[in-house]
Amino acid sequence: MRILKYDDSIIRSMDIATKTEYLNNLSSYTNLPHRTMMNPVNSWGFPVVTGKKYKIHWKNGLDFMEMQVDLGATWNYTDKDVYIIHNFTDIRA
């Protein structure tokens, strides 16, 4: 899984060519190794800063029907929102 900082403060000032270059530059992403599905102990975990926006992407795409996001133990109901953006392409017949 790849994670990219995608805050409006970063993206808003970019023209289309610069944004495309930013999205295609793999060194801009944080990379997490593939983990076995269906085992919460062996799931992906990554820290996020509240009040920020992130774009996540799977290297070759994954064939999954659902995804679950859980809050960590340090989350507080007064924390700012976190936005996680990802594509969804359903190519099943």
**In the predicted model, what is the mean pLDDT of residues 28-33?**
83
37 with 61: CB under 8 angstroms? no
* Domain assignment of residue 59, yes or no: yes
Which tens digits make up the pLDDT trace of 49-87? 889 999 988 766 666 667 777 788 888 999 999 999 887
* Domain assignment of residue 92, yes or no: no
Domain that holds residue 36: 2-85
* Domain assignment of residue 61, yes or no: yes
**In the predicted model, what is the mean pLDDT of residues 33-54?**
75
* Domain assignment of residue 72, yes or no: yes
Counted domains in the chain: 1
* Domain assignment of residue 93, yes or no: no
Highest mean pLDDT of the ranges 18-22, 33-37, 66-70, 89-93? 18-22
